[in-house]
Structure 1
């Protein structure tokens, strides 16, 4: 175990930047919803600040989760690019103390950024939203709630990514909280829950051994895959209604999440540790990111 801060390569591994897409797209969508329907344009400074909020939030999440899940990750023999933590603590490339300190720095910077942005934009709601973003992770991984070990972790992820983040971006760009299109959140909730379940599929054996009550650990990977398909199907069914609120239509782009969801169903069996489970997870992530990207791209083109 390293006593110091570790190497740059170790920190890049710990940071898991590919997962930034989960946060960046909902934040961008919320900002686009705030300005484009009324014929405005994004404030560039605010855009940069909001996306920096997303970077800090993502780093806080991955650093804090790695520290909280160390014992479970040590048992994990089926980790993938999408799951099982960054492995820097398991491999001894960074110390828990260094990772915990980094998580604290990111949380402090996130709050400071939100306070400054709230003052500059006259949007005080940004501060409680930032606190909520941090609180969701704490409730997910740390006592006294530690809901990822009690069966509520996927729901917390869903609320944060599909609810808190779009609303943060919307308010930061001057959107009226009273006119926020909640139908869009209703549309996004099922697919983000599906994505949260999917990323737990490869970790099923170690999660079950550790008592971490993810849905795959409770019901098995194949049954969980059916839940993922049903949730994405619900999002597809809600899409015409949810997009209509923004003056958009579903269009052929909706075929992307549909096809990706069919891949989740057809790539089977997909036991943990197999290439098939990685394909299944990648397909579920694609379905969710495409669902967020479709209205975002449509708004930008208007």
Structure 2
């Protein structure tokens, strides 16, 4: 493989489409600090963003390595489905290099957290270490949370509320304000939906190797209720954040994205494994479309903050 081909393979191995999760949560938390307290330090934002992108890319690689080792990804590929490129099976990277790169990226993320702790305070390092621990526990033995029906929930909490809260705290220098956890809940709910979607596509392979995802634990019929609950939590948190004054009242316009979100999760609402398999390309749009609903949501929230702070619109 030529150098440019190798570089491209590595860049794709990070699952760049999924990295919008880290970007949206860090940016939302930073913007919230500016809206609420008038604090905005671009250097701290870039360090936080770089650390979270490295952490998520590293966790992606470690997860892909362990799913390769258990055989679930090989079985999944043999089924004819593919919701994203696999660094080992599709891009030809060696298993040892993939897991080594994953841990190197998580070490870089811990380094970013250490820098932020020096500038902002030790609690930031503690929060960052907790996040990295949860990221590793997602796939790595002995916890392997994603194999015990807990991975989707833990990832949603970590990549939504905790990242928004931590990014806000980096800017204001304190973890004492808790309301960013509520503002970050929609991002977490969307991560949960994405992971349920990929779990629904992998259900046969997961069943074969004993990987207990939320979809397998609930079954296809009850999965639709979990998906509806996640959508309800997502938009209830948005409405509550606006009505309680944590976001500008104008941000209530984000509720207009509800029909789009329901269309994206519609295959999960069928209550049928066969229907999900038939509509796998449609379900894949949850995370692999030309642009993500969470990026549009972020744009709406950012625009509402600017309108409220600069133009005085409530």
The whole-number CA distance in structure 1 between the counterparts of 2:10 and 2:96 is 13
Preserved CA contact (<8 Å) 1:208 1:218 = no
Structure 1 contact 125–171 (Cα < 8 Å) conserved: no
Give per-residue Cα distances to partners, 1:37-58, cap 9 Å, x unaligned.
22x2521111211111122012
Asked if 1 retains the 8 angstrom alpha-carbon contact of 2:30 and 2:167, the reply is: yes
Cross-structure match for 1:81: 83
The 8 Å contact of residues 264 and 285 in structure 2, kept in 1 or not, is answered as no
In the alignment, structure 1 residue 53 sits paired with structure 2 residue 51:
yes
Gap regions ≥5 residues in structure 2: 310-314
Gaps of 5+ in 1: none
Query: Once structures 1 and 2 are overlaid, which stretch shifts more, 197-206 or 144-153?
Result: 197-206
Q: CA contact under 8 A between 2:165 and 2:184: conserved in structure 1?
A: no
Cα distance 1:30–1:247, how it changes in 2: closer, same or farther (>3 A)? closer
Kindly state the Cα deviation for residue 283 of structure 1 after the two structures are TM-superposed: 4.2
Matched-pair contact (CA < 8 Å) for 1:264–1:283: yes
Query: 1:190–1:109: structure 2 CA closer, same or farther, 3 Å change rule?
Result: closer
Distance 1:136 1:257 in 2: 30
Q: 1:117-163: per-residue Cα shift (whole Å, max 9, x none)?
A: 2212x222221122112111221101111111111111111111122
What residue number does 2:28 align with?
29
Q: Distance in 2 between matches of 1:99 and 1:129?
A: 26
Q: 1:172 to 1:187 in 2, by over 3 A?
A: same
Shift of 1:165: 1.0
**Residue correspondence of structure 1 range 1-302 to structure 2 within 5 A:** 7-38=6-37, 40-70=38-68, 71-76=71-76, 77-82=79-84, 86-91=85-90, 93-120=92-119, 122-181=120-179, 182-186=181-185, 188-221=187-220, 223-243=222-242, 244-249=244-249, 250-265=251-266, 268=270, 271-274=275-278, 276-283=279-286, 286-301=292-307, 302=309
Are the aligned partners of 1:63 and 1:100 in contact in 2 as well (CA < 8 Å)? yes
Deviation string 1:222-250 (CA, Å, 9 cap, x unpaired) is: 54234212320233234322223314224
Distance 1:11 1:187 in 2: 30
C-alpha spacing 1:282/1:91, structure 2 compared with 1 (3 Å): closer
Q: Which has the higher helix share?
A: 2
Alpha carbons of structure 1 residues 191 and 55: separation in structure 2 relative to 1, 3 Å = closer
Check whether the contact 1:187–1:239 (CA below 8 A) recurs between aligned residues. Answer: yes
Q: Partners in 1 of 2:127 and 2:281 — Cα distance?
A: 33
- Secondary structure of the corresponding residue to residue 192 of structure 2: helix
For 2:300 and 2:229, the matched residues in 1 are separated by 20
Judge conservation of contact 2:114–2:125 (CA < 8 Å) in 1.
yes
Change (3 A) 1:240 1:23: same
Contact 2:21 / 2:187 at 8 angstroms: preserved in 1? no
Structure 1 pair 294–207 and aligned structure 2 pair: CA distance change class (3 A): farther
1:262 Cα deviation from its structure 2 partner: 4.0
- d(CA) in 2 for partners of 1:8 and 1:238? 40
What is the TM-score normalised by the length of structure 1?
0.85
Higher relative contact order (CA 8 A, sep 6+): 1
Distance, in Å, in 1 between the alignment partners of 2:287 and 2:13 is 23
Q: 1:47 to 1:152 in 2, by over 3 A?
A: same
Alignment coverage as a number of residue pairs: 292
**Is contact 1:261-1:283 (8 Å) kept?**
no
